[in-house]
């Protein structure tokens, strides 16, 4: 009897120990169906945003407007090189370098405009205080109310135009190869046209001195000129 009771008691203790071990296992206290521990939720990392920046607009520097153009300074003291003089002025001589072009538009320059070989002068409505001088220039054009305070002397050059202009001195043109046109202008001095080969037209001018033309090929054409001096040579009928 005593041995049976001891055996039964031992069995009960073993069962109790197994139950206790099961209750105190690693999954004890779990809230989920699988008995696991519910993990602590973590918030998603914030996404960094980069603010866009506007590209800076490059500003092109501009010169302050002066209202009038000024000639560029050439080498040599007291002289200017006119690339494009519009509505401006200079009291210095204007020398146009070889192969360059000078445009005078309602400008005042002087005393002289001097053209180098193959240079070109375009003057409209401008005042030249002294002389226009060239040897070997490409072209000399004095137009639309341009006034010349001195003489025009052009030789061994290309074409010459003096149209609707005023010349206080003389016009002397010789050995030029381009067309020469002197029309509707007032020349206080004389006009002398000699040994030119590109053609000559002289019409509607008022000439204070003489009008003389010699050895031009072809002969000059034109007419309607008022000449206070003598008409000589090829221009006797003009």
Neighbours of 103 (CB within 10 A): 18
- pLDDT value of position 45: 39
- pLDDT value of position 179: 98
Q: How many whole angstroms from its chain centre is CA 31?
A: 85
Q: How many Å apart are CA 177 and CA 171, to the nearest integer?
A: 17
pLDDT per residue as tens, the chain (238 positions): 434 433 444 434 444 444 344 444 444 444 444 444 444 444 443 333 333 333 333 332 222 222 233 444 333 335 667 766 777 888 888 999 999 999 999 999 989 999 999 999 999 999 999 999 999 999 999 999 999 999 999 999 999 999 999 999 999 999 999 999 999 999 999 999 999 999 999 999 999 999 999 999 999 999 999 999 999 999 999 9
Instruction: Locate 9 and state its tokens.
Output: 């008691």
* Alpha helices, DSSP H, located in the chain: 2-23
- Cα dihedral: 144, 149, 150, 153 (round 10): -20
Q: Order of strands, edge to edge, in the sheet holding 180-183?
A: 84-86, 101-105, 120-124, 139-143, 159-163, 180-183, 200-203, 221-223
Beta-carbon contacts of 228 under 8 Å, excluding residues fewer than 6 positions away, are: 207, 208, 209
Q: Which of 171, 92, 89 is nearest to 134 (CA)?
A: 171
Instruction: Locate 3 and state its tokens.
Output: 């041995």
Beta-carbon contacts of 46 under 8 Å, excluding residues fewer than 6 positions away, are: none
Q: Say if residues 96 and 76 touch (Cβ distance below 8 Å).
A: no
Q: How many Å apart are CA 234 and CA 203, to the nearest integer?
A: 14
Q: How many Å apart are CA 69 and CA 50, to the nearest integer?
A: 50
């Amino acid at each position: 009897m005593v041995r049976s009771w001891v055996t039964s008691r031992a069995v009960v203790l073993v069962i109790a120990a197994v139950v206790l071990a099961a209750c105190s296992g690693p999954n004890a206290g779990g809230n989920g169906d699988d008995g696991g521990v519910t993990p602590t939720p973590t918030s998603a990392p914030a996404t960094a945003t980069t603010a866009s920046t506007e590209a800076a607009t490059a500003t092109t520097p501009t010169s302050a407007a002066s209202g009038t153009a000024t000639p560029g300074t050439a080498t040599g003291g007291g002289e200017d090189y006119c690339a494009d003089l519009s509505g401006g002025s200079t009291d210095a001589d204007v020398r146009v370098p070889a192969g360059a072009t000078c445009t005078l538009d309602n400008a005042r320059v002087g005393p002289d405009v001097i053209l180098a070989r193959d240079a070109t002068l375009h003057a409209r409505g401008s005042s030249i205080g002294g002389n226009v001088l060239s040897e070997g220039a490409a072209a000399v054009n004095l137009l639309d109310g341009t006034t010349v305070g001195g003489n025009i002397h052009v030789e061994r050059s290309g074409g010459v135009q003096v149209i609707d202009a005023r010349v206080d001195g003389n016009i002397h043109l010789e050995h030029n190869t381009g067309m020469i046109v002197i029309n509707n202008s007032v020349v206080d001095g004389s006009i002398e046209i000699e040994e030119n080969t590109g053609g000559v037209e002289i019409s509607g001018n008022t000439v204070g001195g003489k009008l003389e033309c010699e050895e031009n090929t072809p002969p000059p054409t034109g007419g309607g000129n008022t000449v206070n001096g003598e008409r000589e040579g090829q221009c006797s009928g003009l």
